[in-house]
């Protein structure tokens, strides 16, 4: 079976969900994969939940609609409710434990908790929480390699927000630590 | 590989036009195509072009009429309700035989409808929209890569036929990101020098040009119509484009275009995995419509299923092609809903009984 | 020996009779536009945009490159042309139904952008081509086929003073109202039309000349009566003059 991975990332508008998905797609493209990123768009973008889907494949990407993802990134409570039962059996859930509680979790999936807001606040800027999550994703999924993801963050920030590069890199590494710990225990 | 860039559909459409040498864009904001005017407003000044935000879609298409009359490459984009407003102007442009490329990033209707993707402007795009006997050459890309290639090709087509070309796509394609590589696409058609008909070359031509659609003499107007019809016949001969897969041994063929064809392709794969012989025909040109693959279906085909993000529009052309040789059924979602892979799978199974 | 001047057809007018009714002033205004183009020596670099209305066939009379626009959209067509080819002189020629009714959005925004085009606006207070219906510029109490009891402001509002309205905008370079009801006015009208083209040639932005005109056929008057009616009724409501001059 050729490589085909589907991901949904969801949270509040403003949590950097769209960017997170784009970085994953971008990194995978840089690794030679075919990629697709698609946002939910519309009224829900303002204040409500926002989500995007990413598909990474070494073959053709046909349907752009992701019904049952392999990877689910959840940044707020409503998104967990909406998406968690759609995660494929054996899939990986990464959720922001600062804003999300998950009682009675499914036992047929991998569950990775990350206190993304705490990590970001400790570093001094809550807005890098999404990059901390990306660091986790780098370790616990095969959407794209950690190196490619890191390079993409550098590429994207390097162009416009060079002064934020350092804090983002730190957030990414903190996320990686969380991810590595999970992998070690699993 | 290294030339691939990750771009949002709307931005890729715009960049493809720029790379095709289009320097003039007149637009008006409407979701879900806003990234096209936004991109152009930034990009066109870099290439010495003009971006102008019109006061309305009505004004925008008439600015295109004026700009197209100069012989330079022009682009306009909108989404469904905006295209309705432009329809009068499009009819004038077709009648005056001017080249321009129009992108419709469709959303759900009718009326103001919604802002989510749909394919409910098929009739409008392929059967008229505005008044009078005119046609648009309509291309429906199935990926962002194909969209960039179709848009580049569209500028050659519109100049060759001197007829507006519409890129019919939807909110999914406009909003999604994919890796694209901007490859130069040249049709190699013999395109006459614009100085033969465009404004501003009276001295070179030795006479003035009239860019008009009015003919009060019915015989003259009939002749003009016949001239247009001749172009449409030529398009039907030369510009039919489609892609098909797994049709040769298929018992069921799914017909779909654009985003829906992608979803259908995944459904075909799933059906094949289950031993059901499914195939797909994806029209890439909607006008001229590829009737032939439907009139020449192999004996194995027992059923054709048309899937659209509408209440059933392209299905009428498929029925014309199939000509009652096998049953044709329809599955559609609309209003901004998309058919899922699973739904298409079910519809195919139901059709086969 | 005094210089001999021969009165001739302007170079950029075609050698055909117009379709206009007897006593209609379109012919005079066409001639003034053609003379202005000739005098600037820009025939081959001028593009006209004909409206929908009586002047829809203007392209048969003025011998420059020409578009024929949809109803009311001439300023948008002119905009598209001028933005691509700023080296060309672009003018529209529009009636009151075309410009002041269906095309209000286009004229206001072209003016407001300071679009470097010239607009010749024929105000004869009625729809001519369609047979004498009420125009936005129809005077109060004036009878037309769609206000047979006379225009009532409670039903149809007041006649629009386009020149004054557009002169409130920042961008326009030149806005004037003239008439061709008598030879002395025609001389002034010619000056205004030339100034309008001059404004465009000097890239000083949008220029518009409103020309108070007659429609004897639809007003139901003899040509001479129509000219008198114009002077006595239209000029008091639509004062002549220049409302905006280039800096």
**What is the CATH superfamily name and number for domain B5-238?**
Thiamin diphosphate (ThDP)-binding fold, Pyr/PP domains (3.40.50.970)
Average pLDDT over every residue of C114-123: 98
Average pLDDT (C59-68) is: 97
pLDDT, residue B126, reads 98
Task: Give the model confidence (pLDDT) of A32-91 as tens digits.
Answer: 999 999 998 765 555 567 899 999 999 999 999 999 999 999 999 999 999 999 999 999
Question: With an 8 Å Cβ cutoff, are B262 and A64 in contact?
Answer: yes
Is B208 near chain C, with CB under 8 Å? yes
Q: How confident is the model at residue C2 (pLDDT cuts 50, 70, 90)?
A: confident
Residue C65 touches chain B, beta carbons under 8 Å: yes
Instruction: Determine the structural domain holding residue A150 and report its residue range.
Output: 4-185
- How much is the ipTM here? 0.95
Quick one: pLDDT at residue A166?
A: 92
* C13 lies in some domain: no
CATH 3.40.50.920 assigned to domain B242-352? The reply is: yes
Give the pLDDT of residue A33: 97
In a domain, residue C12? The reply is no
Provide the mean pLDDT of chain C: 97
Rounded to a whole number of angstroms, the distance from the CA of A34 to the nearest CA of chain B is 7
By Cβ distance, the residue of B92, B203, B208 closest to C70 is: B92
For A135, residues 6+ apart whose C-beta sits below 8 A from its C-beta are A146, A171, A172, A173, A174, A175, A176, A177, A178, A179
- What are the pLDDT digits (tens) for C147-174? 999 999 999 999 999 999 999 999 999 9
Domain assignment present for residue C139? The answer is yes
More confident residue, B353 or C227: C227
Is C78 part of the contact surface with chain B (CB cutoff 8 Å)? yes
**A41 with B6: Cβ contact below 8 A:** no
pLDDT value of residue B330: 98
Per-residue model confidence (pLDDT) at position A156: 87
Mean pLDDT throughout A95-107? 96
CATH number at residue C65: 3.40.50.970
Name chain B contacts of C78, Cβ cutoff 8 Å. Answer: 66
Quick check: helix, strand or coil at residue C96? helix
C3 located within any domain = no
Residues of chain B with CATH 3.40.50.920: 242-352
Q: Which two tokens stand for residue C211?
A: 């020309």
Beta strands C89-95; C65-68: pairing state: unpaired
Task: Indicate whether C15 belongs to any domain.
Answer: no
With CA atoms as reference, the chain C residue closest to B212 would be C68
Cα of A126 vs its chain's centroid, Å: 16
What pLDDT is recorded for position A157? 81
User: CATH 3.40.50.970 occupies which residues in chain B?
Assistant: 5-238
* B258, two tokens: 């654009």
Q: Look up the CATH number of the domain holding residue A97.
A: 3.40.920.10
HSE-up of residue A35 (Cα within 13 Å, Cβ side): 30
Q: Give me the count of residues in chain B.
A: 353
Question: By the 8 A CB rule, do B252 and B279 touch?
Answer: yes
pLDDT in tens, C3-56: 898 889 999 999 999 999 999 999 999 999 999 999 999 999 999 999 999 999
> Hey, is the C-beta of A99 within 8 angstroms of any chain B C-beta?
no
Q: Which of A63, A67, A149 should we substitute to test contact with B (largest number of B Cβ atoms within 10 Å)?
A: A63
d(CA A91, CA A106): 11
3-class SS of residue B304 = strand
The residue of B52, B85, B199 whose CB has the most chain C CBs within 10 angstroms, and thus the best one to mutate to test that interface, is: B199
- Is C140 in contact with C158 (CB distance < 8 Å)? yes
Residues of A in contact with B4 (CB under 8 A): 29
Question: Please, where are the H alpha helices in B52-130?
Answer: 57-68, 80-95, 122-127
pLDDT at A161 over 90: no
Q: Which residues of C touch B62 (CB under 8 A)?
A: 69-70, 73, 76-77, 80, 106
Q: How far apart are CA B149 and CA B163, in angstroms?
A: 19
Give which of C65, C98, C119 to mutate to test B binding, by max B Cβ within 10 Å. C65
- Interface contact C80-B64, CB threshold 8 A: yes
Are B58 and C73 inside 8 Å of each other by CB? yes
- The domain in which residue C95 lies consists of 26-244
Q: Do A64 and B31 touch (CB under 8 A)?
A: no
Q: Which residues of B touch A42 (CB under 8 A)?
A: 114-116
Interhelix angle for B258-273 vs B341-352, to 10°? 60
pLDDT score recorded for residue B345: 98
Distance from CA of B16 to the nearest CA of C (A): 20
How high is the pLDDT of residue B60? Answer: 98
Determine C/A contact with 3+ CB pairs under 8 A as the test.
Answer: no
Number of structural domains in chain A: 1
More confident residue, A164 or B63: B63
User: What is the number of CB-based contacts under 8 A between chain B and chain C?
Assistant: 124
Asked whether the beta carbons of residue C76 and residue B63 sit closer than 8 angstroms, the reply is yes
A149 contacts in B (CB within 8 Å)?
A: none
Into how many domains does chain C fold?
Answer: 1
pLDDT score for A44: 52
Is B338 in Cβ contact with A67 (below 8 Å)?
no
Tens of each residue's pLDDT in chain B, 353 residues = 468 999 999 999 999 999 999 999 999 999 999 999 999 999 999 999 999 999 999 999 999 999 999 999 999 999 999 999 999 999 999 999 999 999 999 999 999 999 999 999 999 999 989 999 999 999 999 999 999 999 999 999 999 999 999 999 999 999 999 999 999 988 889 999 999 999 999 999 999 999 999 999 999 999 999 999 999 999 999 999 999 999 999 999 999 999 999 999 999 999 999 999 999 999 999 999 999 999 999 999 999 999 999 999 999 999 999 999 999 999 999 999 999 999 999 999 999 98
* Strand, coil or helix: C67: strand
Residue C68 at interface with chain B, using a CB cutoff of 8 Å: yes
Comparing CB atoms, the residue among C43, C56, C81 nearest residue B67 is C81
Given phi > 0 = left and psi -120 to 50 = alpha, else beta, which region is C41?
left
**Which of A25, A60, A67 lies closest to B6 in CB terms?**
A25
């Amino acid at each position: 079976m050729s490589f085909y991975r589907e991901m949904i990332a969801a949270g509040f508008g403003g949590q950097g969900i769209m960017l997170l998905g784009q970085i994953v797609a971008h990194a995978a493209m840089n690794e030679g994969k075919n990629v697709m990123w698609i946002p939910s768009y519309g009224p829900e973008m303002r204040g409500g939940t926002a989500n995007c889907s990413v598909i990474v494949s070494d073959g053709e990407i046909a349907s752009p609609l992701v019904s049952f993802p392999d990877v689910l990134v959840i940044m707020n409570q409503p998104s967990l409710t909406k998406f968690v039962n759609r995660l494929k059996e054996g899939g990986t859930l990464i959720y922001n434990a600062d804003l999300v509680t998950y009682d009675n979790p499914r036992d047929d999936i991998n569950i990775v908790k990350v206190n993304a807001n705490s990590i970001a606040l400790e570093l001094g800027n809550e807005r890098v929480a999404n990059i901390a999550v990306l660091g986790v994703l780098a370790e616990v999924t095969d959407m794209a390699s950690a190196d490619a993801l890191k390079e993409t963050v550098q590429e994207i920030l390097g162009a416009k927000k060079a002064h934020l590069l350092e804090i983002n890199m730190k957030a990414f590494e903190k996320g990686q630590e969380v991810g590595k710990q999970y992998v070690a225990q699993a | 590989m290294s030339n691939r860039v990750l771009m949002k559909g709307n931005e890729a459409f715009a960049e493809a036009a720029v790379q095709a040498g289009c320097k003039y864009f007149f637009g008006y904001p409407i979701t879900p195509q806003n990234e096209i005017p936004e991109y152009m407003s930034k990009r066109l000044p870099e290439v010495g072009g003009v971006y102008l935000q019109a006061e309305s879609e009505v004004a925008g298409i008439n600015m295109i009429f004026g700009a197209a009359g100069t012989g330079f490459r022009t682009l306009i984009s909108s989404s469904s309700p905006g295209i309705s407003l432009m329809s009068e102007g499009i009819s004038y442009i077709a009648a005056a035989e001017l080249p321009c490329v129009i992108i419709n990033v469709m959303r759900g209707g009718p009326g103001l409808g919604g802002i989510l993707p749909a394919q409910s402007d098929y009739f409008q795009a392929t059967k008229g929209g505005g008044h009078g006997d005119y046609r648009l050459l309509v291309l429906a890309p199935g990926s962002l890569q194909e969209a960039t290639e179709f848009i580049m090709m569209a500028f050659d087509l519109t100049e060759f036929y001197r007829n507006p070309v519409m890129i019919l796509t939807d909110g999914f394609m406009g909003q999604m990101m994919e890796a694209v590589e901007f490859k130069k696409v040249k049709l190699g058609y013999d395109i006459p020098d614009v100085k033969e008909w465009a404004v501003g070359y009276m001295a070179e031509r030795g006479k003035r040009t009239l860019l008009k659609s009015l003919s009060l003499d019915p015989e003259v107007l009939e002749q003009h119509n016949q001239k247009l019809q001749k172009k449409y016949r030529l398009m039907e001969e030369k510009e039919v484009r489609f892609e098909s897969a797994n049709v040769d041994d298929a018992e069921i063929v799914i017909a779909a275009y654009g985003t829906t064809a992608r979803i259908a392709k995944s459904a075909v794969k799933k059906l094949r995995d289950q031993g059901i012989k499914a195939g797909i025909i994806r029209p890439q040109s909607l006008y001229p419509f590829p009737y032939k693959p439907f009139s020449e279906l192999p004996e194995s085909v027992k059923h054709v299923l048309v899937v659209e993000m509408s209440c059933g529009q392209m299905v009428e052309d498929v029925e014309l092609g199939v000509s009652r040789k096998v049953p044709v059924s329809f599955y559609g979602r609309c209003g901004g809903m998309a058919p899922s892979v699973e739904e298409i799978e079910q519809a195919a199974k139901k059709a086969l009984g | 020996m005094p210089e001999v001047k021969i009165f001739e057809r302007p170079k950029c007018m075609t050698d055909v009779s117009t379709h206009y009714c007897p006593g209609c002033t379109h012919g005079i205004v066409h001639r003034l536009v053609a003379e202005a183009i000739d005098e600037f020596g820009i025939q081959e670099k001028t593009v006209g945009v004909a409206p929908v209305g009586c002047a829809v066939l203007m392209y048969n009379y003025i011998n420059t490159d020409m578009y024929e626009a949809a109803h009311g959209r001439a300023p948008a067509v002119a905009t598209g042309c001028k933005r691509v080819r700023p080296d060309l002189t672009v003018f529209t020629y529009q009636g009151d139904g075309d410009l002041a009714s269906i095309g209000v959005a286009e004229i206001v925004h072209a003016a407001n952008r300071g679009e470097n085009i010239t607009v010749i606006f024929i105000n004869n207070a009625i729809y001519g081509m369609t047979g004498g219906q009420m125009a936005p510029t129809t005077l109060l109490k004036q009878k037309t086929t769609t206000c047979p009891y006379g225009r009532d402001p409670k039903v149809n509002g007041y006649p629009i003073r386009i020149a004054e309205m557009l002169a409130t905008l920042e961008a326009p370079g030149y806005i004037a109202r003239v008439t061709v009801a008598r030879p002395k006015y025609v001389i002034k009208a010619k000056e205004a039309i030339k100034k309008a083209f001059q404004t465009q040639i000097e890239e000083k932005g949008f220029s518009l000349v409103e020309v108070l005109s007659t429609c004897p056929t639809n007003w139901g008057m003899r040509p001479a009566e129509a000219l008198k009616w114009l002077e006595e009724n239209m000029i008091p409501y639509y004062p002549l003059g220049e409302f905006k001059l280039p800096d």
